[in-house]
Amino acid sequence: MYRYDELDQAFVEQRVAEFRDQTRRHLAGELSEEEFRPLRLRNGLYLQRHAPMLRIAVPYGLLSARQLRKLADITRRYDRGYGHFTTRQNLQLNWPRLADVPDILAELASVQMHAIQTSGNCVRNVTADHLAGVAPDELDDPRPYCEIIRQWATLHPEFTYLPRKFKIAVSGSPEDRAATEVHDVGLQLRRDPSGELGFAVRVGGGLGRAPMIGQLIREFLPLPELLAYLEAILRVYNRHGRRDNLNKARIKVLVKTLGAARFREQVEAEWRIGRSHAPRLTAEDVARFRACFAPPPYAALEDQHVTAGREARFVAWDRYNTRAHRVPGYRAVFVSLKAHGSNPGDITAAQMEVVAALAERLSFGLVRTTHNQNLMLADVPQSELYGLWRELDAHGLAMPNIGTLTDIIACPGLDFCSLANAGTLDVVREIQQRFDDLDYLYDLGDIEIKMSGCMNGCGHHHVGHIGILGVDKHGQEWYQLTLGGSANGFTALGEVIGPSLPKHEVAPAIERIVEAYRSLRADGERFIDTIRRLGVAPFTDSVYAPHPAAA
Amino acid sequence: MRHILRRREIVTDDWCYAGETAVPDAPLIVPLAELRADAARWRQRPGRLGVLLAPEDPVEELADELPRLALVAVQFPNVGDGRGYSQGRLLRERLGFTGELRAVGAGVRQDRVYLLARCGFDTLELAAAEDPDAALRAWSRYSVGYQPGDPQVPLARQRFLAPPA
């Protein structure tokens, strides 16, 4: 992984000192809340329903065991002994005290971490495929480019007060596990016919209000031009994006207003003129960053059958919670944060320490966070899988449901977030209870449920096979269901199936939807494919026909 | 008397805005619209001339006037409006402006000094009630930066440098 040199270390320490001074001025009454707000947001600090919330950056989802231990330590000393991993691979603390935040940031800086630009109208944490570097279908590891972008975007003097937040994702595989098509900028690694590396560039994707799929504005951007082109995109946005209406300030609105062709012309013109003053990546730069993500010293192993003679629970876990690895004899392993009865993405300090220790023993000391709110040990020898499973299982981290209906993505919702219209966690619980039979879950196959407590769409409901959106109806929590969304390789936005439902109707409605699927599916047909084949009408019928009571 | 920060020093402002002076050759800052309305007249005026840009003003249109201008003031009407940062960089890098580049408005606060300086602003006309000494200290808060910017940060300590001009 990338390790800070003395410049990076000096920078984060100076950043902590700056925020300590800002917090002191705020607490002393010298900085009003209005003035303090943009400063604290750019250090990851929200003021939420019950307490501040601190969103700690996990750049492109990569953590060392030492960093994860520090996070555990921080949650114990400054919070309530647990944290929450988000869809953007970050970690949220729900109960820090405002006055403690500078100390927390100093603790983070001591392990080469920070909370810079995890909120606010600036370039946010850059995200990547959780299988980066190990996926068999990968063209190139996206993480060196993510780190380059992270550094370039950090307190970028021109682009730290944008019209609105700005999210960049990078993928190195044809299967778009980083959901690049629903980011403000989505970069997909490519090679041109001469073998040179570069990126396909999409702009203007985004969920939240008025969801859009990103427009391809450049088929191939040569790698040395990466930062120059990002500067051109951001400059066009910074100058021309709307600032009069928060709901129309994302770059997707600018792209839509201008049209992709005109937007592209403006970016290309800006790039051609501006590139002489923009940073250019040299071969040495790229080599230096790539070296940081060089493959670990894998042993020469062979693939083996690990399930022979093992109990059914392990066989199921191996099937659902592990993934193919490009190196023979290894598997990538999900650490499930989706145990039934728990909140998606939540992890206790003790569990963090268990995962850190396992990473050190079995996976070169590295842990990944995934955008579906699980963790991953990416480089586990197959011979160790059974022992690993037993330890994960003993600590509630082996729920064999990855990719199934109960591997739900959900934002924290009304229980924590001051933006939310409706709770998400109760609904998750009800779905978990209703689908607690694993054989039934496995029969249903791949089904992605994604839930957001409000229009902002942090739970990515638009791209869930089943999307659930919390809405406020006269002060009550209601839920709008969408079907047919998808983010992996074939990006599609879900279609609303009908009027919203009260809370207690949501889990039963999902059961009726999947029952309809069971009766309608062709042999071996996945849920999403049945919806694509038949449209949402039969599912709408299944939910509403026998239940006219729904408002 | 207005105090400003100019190249890391607190000094008395020697410039006036339109309406602030009756001295015919006093250094004067006029809004872009006025400059445009009668460019010939302003060209003949004795004394140094500066222009005041609003966030939506396209800096490219200043190219012809720049050689005549000793100062460009860029407005930051609030702390959230970041368009002036682009205007500053473009003036310095694309249009080659070497005169005084001044940030002015309610958004010019001590917590933005680092960004402003790195976008090429050498003079800050701070928001009312902002402490100039604190802003001066903020100018030295960071010894490093990840992007090319303020020449006060040693070049060797920067990464991703622009190619040599």
pLDDT tier at B51, thresholds 50, 70, 90: very high
List all residues of chain A from 32 to 71 with a beta carbon under 8 Å from chain B.
35, 38-39
C-alpha to C-alpha distance for A477 and A19, rounded to whole angstroms: 37
Quote the tokens at residue A223: 């790698």
CB-based burial label for A82 (10 Å; 0-12, 13-18, 19+): buried
Question: Is the pTM above the cut of 0.80?
Answer: yes
DSSP sequence for chain B: --EEEETTEEEE---EETTS---TTS-EEEEHHHHHHTHHHHHH-SS-EEEEE-TT--GGGGTTTGGG-SEEEEE--STT--HHHHHHHIIIIIS---SEEEEESTT--GGGHHHHHHTT--EEEPPTT--HHHHHHHHTS-S--SSS--TTS-GGG--SPPPP-
- Of A218, A250, A211, the closest CA to residue A234 belongs to A250
What is the ipTM score, two decimals?
0.95
Quote the tokens at residue B104: 């002015």
In angstroms, the Cα distances linking A84 to A55, A373, A422 are: 9, 8, 18
CB-based burial label for B156 (10 Å; 0-12, 13-18, 19+): exposed
Determine the CATH number of domain B3-157: 3.20.20.70
Residue B39 Cα, gap to closest chain A Cα (Å): 25
Q: Is A443 on the interface with B (CB under 8 A)?
A: no
List all residues of chain B from 60 to 99 with a beta carbon under 8 Å from chain A.
79-83, 85-86, 89, 93-94
Using the predicted structure, report yes or no on whether residue B162 has a pLDDT greater than 80. no
Quote the tokens at residue B41: 């007249």
Q: Chain A contacts of B111, Cβ < 8 Å?
A: 18, 22, 39
Q: Is B165 on the interface with A (CB under 8 A)?
A: yes
Whole-number pLDDT of residue A284: 87
Residue B3 Cα, gap to closest chain A Cα (Å): 21
List all residues of chain A from 98 to 127 with a beta carbon under 8 Å from chain B.
121
Using the predicted structure, report yes or no on whether residue B92 has a pLDDT greater than 50. yes
More confident residue, A71 or B18: A71
- Is B83 in Cβ contact with A239 (below 8 Å)? yes
Whole-number pLDDT of residue A551: 46
Whole-number pLDDT of residue B156: 46
C-alpha to C-alpha distance for A227 and B146, rounded to whole angstroms: 12
Q: Is B162 on the interface with A (CB under 8 A)?
A: yes
- Is B163 in Cβ contact with A280 (below 8 Å)? yes
Looking at residue A144, what DSSP letter applies? H
Q: Chain A contacts of B118, Cβ < 8 Å?
A: 157
Which residue of chain B comes nearest to A121, CA vs CA?
A: B80
Q: Is B144 on the interface with A (CB under 8 A)?
A: yes
- Is A39 in Cβ contact with B145 (below 8 Å)? no
Q: How far apart are the first and last CA of chain A?
A: 52
C-alpha to C-alpha distance for A23 and A99, rounded to whole angstroms: 7
Which member of A239, A279, A285 has the closest CB to residue B86? Answer: A239
- Of B121, B90, B53, the closest CA to residue A231 belongs to B90
Whole-number pLDDT of residue A546: 62
- Is A157 in Cβ contact with B85 (below 8 Å)? yes
Residue A51 Cα, gap to closest chain B Cα (Å): 25
Which residue of chain B comes nearest to A148, CA vs CA?
A: B160
Q: Chain A contacts of B116, Cβ < 8 Å?
A: 157
Residue A72 Cα, gap to closest chain B Cα (Å): 30
Which residue of chain B comes nearest to A243, CA vs CA?
A: B81
Do residues B57 and B87 make contact, with C-beta atoms less than 8 angstroms apart?
yes
Whole-number pLDDT of residue A519: 97
Using the predicted structure, report yes or no on whether residue B122 has a pLDDT greater than 60. yes
Residue by residue, pLDDT tens for chain A (551 residues) are: 999 998 899 999 999 999 999 999 999 999 999 999 999 999 999 987 778 999 999 999 999 999 999 999 999 999 999 999 999 999 999 999 999 999 999 999 999 999 999 999 999 999 999 999 999 999 999 999 999 999 999 999 999 999 999 999 999 999 899 999 999 999 999 999 999 999 999 999 998 888 999 999 999 999 999 999 999 999 999 999 999 999 999 999 999 999 999 999 999 999 999 998 888 888 888 999 999 999 999 999 999 999 999 999 999 999 999 999 999 999 999 999 999 999 999 999 999 999 999 999 999 999 999 999 999 999 999 999 999 999 999 999 999 999 999 999 999 999 888 889 999 999 999 999 999 999 999 999 999 999 999 998 999 999 999 999 999 999 999 999 999 999 877 889 999 999 999 999 999 999 999 999 999 999 999 999 999 999 999 999 999 986 555 44
User: CB count, 10 Å around CB of A353?
Assistant: 18
Q: Chain B contacts of A156, Cβ < 8 Å?
A: 146-147
- Is B79 in Cβ contact with A35 (below 8 Å)? yes
Q: Chain A contacts of B95, Cβ < 8 Å?
A: none
Whole-number pLDDT of residue A4: 95
Whole-number pLDDT of residue A330: 98
